[in-house]
Amino acid sequence: MRTQVGIIGAGPAGLLLSHLLHLRGIDSVVLERRGRDEIESTIRAGVLEQGTMDLLTEAGVGERMKAEGAVHHGFELAFEGQRRRIDLTGLTGKSITVYAQHEVLKDLVAARVAAGGKVFFNVSDTSIHGIETDHPSLRFVYEGEPHEVQCDYVIGCDGFHGVSRAAIPAVRREDYERVFPFGWFGILVEAPPSSDELIYARHERGFALVSTRSPNVQRMYFQCDPADSVDRWSDDRIWSELHARVDSSDGQHVVEGRIFQKNIVGMRSFVSATMQHGRLFLAGDAAHIVPPTGAKGLNLAVADVRVLTAALVAFYKEGRTDLLDAYSETALRRIWRAEHFSYWMTRMMHRLDDASPFEQRLQVAELEHVTTSRAAATAMAENYVGAVAV
């Protein structure tokens, strides 16, 4: 099999890149180890920056997002028994849309199928060959038979544990990582919204987040030990913890409902500063991970795709390689900016076991500052909506 661009991973980065290349007349093949049903049903949060919404619309996959996504013009910071609002639109002229990642994937898969795109689900034993030559290839097993895709470029969009980053020789890789000593306990709840906008809560017992998924389904998180077990948490215990961390002194409270999903996720920051080697380029979680506090994961993947699309179009339409050569440098400027913002949000909002009482009061002082200073609130809002120039 021959194609121009071989893409590993049918997540948001891989599918969006494939579709944008298709719209520009560039052929691609996408390989995915999971089944279509699995990627479309794995529920993950989605806070979309304006730039992400614009690119999805440009790709022709934004219709359902606009109809069903919830546009938010701000969010609330809860601390010391009070809630204070960050006016995103008033401070930046921009907003965000809450639209779950698996819904984005459904739209992208449907678009690739309708366009006759070559997307292979349920593949195994994927391997990358010849990335230091002009003719790399991908080998994989599909429906019990071995296959090979010959291509000009390989794009690794297969996540943190995928094969793509590992294909870059270890001596050439420059990786940075910070693993946090806490995780998030997440629940999905059948209930009306607790608030019109997201609530980020800092409490002495730990962080909490309340997020709307639909008029009837809400997503909530609270800080926990990443080694904890969901079996140790009864519904009553969960609600008691969320009320303690989020409810305000003026009577605002979390709305309870039937909990139908529980899970625990770990927290880490990671950057592979080597995002390209030979004819292999990394995008999305294969190259970087951010703690979800700053809502940057999906948006960073889309930003990578925007840069890669422009670079590949320049190569195929104009014979230029300058944008491909500069891919890592270009993408990393935004990545490190987002990493810093997510790290800052995480440090400000979470209970830190190694923090002294002095440092805990500094967290409160910083929250007071960003909610009373227009300049500080603007800086926070610009980073949150993705309006910071990089």
Look at residue 250 in the predicted model and tell me its pLDDT.
87
Pick the closest to residue 298 from 30, 69, 67 (CA basis): 69
Annotation marks residue 343 as catalytic: no
**How many residues are given for the chain?**
390
Q: Which two tokens stand for residue 238?
A: 């969960």
- From residue 225, alpha-carbon distances to 24, 267, 285 in Å are 47, 10, 23
221: phi then psi, degrees, rounded to nearest 5: -135, 155
Q: pTM (2 decimals)?
A: 0.93
From 153, 221, 316, 384, the catalytic residue: 384
From 99, 136, 153, 200, the catalytic residue: 200
CB atoms within 10 A of CB 77: 22
**In degrees, to the nearest 5, what angle opens at C-alpha 26 toward C-alphas 23 and 27?**
110
- Write the CB contacts of 12 (distance below 8 Å, at least 6 apart in sequence): 101, 104, 105, 108, 284, 298, 301, 302
From 22, 203, 296, 350, the catalytic residue: 296
From 12, 136, 291, 292, the catalytic residue: 292
CA pair distance 62, 71, nearest whole angstrom: 13
Look at residue 32 in the predicted model and tell me its pLDDT.
97
Look at residue 389 in the predicted model and tell me its pLDDT.
55
From 72, 203, 288, 350, the catalytic residue: 72
Annotation marks residue 316 as catalytic: no
Q: Determine which helix (DSSP H) or strand (DSSP E) holds 383, and give its type and residue range.
A: helix 374-385
Annotation marks residue 262 as catalytic: no
Kindly list the domain boundaries of the chain, sorted by start residue.
5-72+95-176+269-344, 180-267+351-385
Asked if the 180-267+351-385 domain carries CATH number 3.30.9.10, the reply is: yes
Dmax (CA) of the chain: 65
Domain 5-72+95-176+269-344 is classified in which CATH homologous superfamily?
FAD/NAD(P)-binding domain (3.50.50.60)
Per-residue pLDDT of the chain (390 residues; tens, 9 = 90+): 999 999 999 999 999 999 999 999 999 999 999 999 998 887 777 899 999 999 999 999 999 999 999 899 999 999 999 999 999 999 999 999 999 888 999 999 999 999 999 999 999 999 999 999 999 999 999 999 999 999 999 999 999 999 999 999 999 999 999 999 999 999 999 999 999 899 999 999 999 999 877 788 899 999 999 999 999 999 999 999 999 999 998 889 999 999 999 999 999 999 999 999 999 999 999 999 999 999 999 999 999 999 999 999 999 999 999 999 999 999 999 999 999 999 999 999 999 988 899 999 999 999 999 999 999 999 999 999 997 655
Look at residue 390 in the predicted model and tell me its pLDDT.
57
Annotation marks residue 384 as catalytic: yes
CA pair distance 13, 325, nearest whole angstrom: 20
Annotation marks residue 66 as catalytic: no
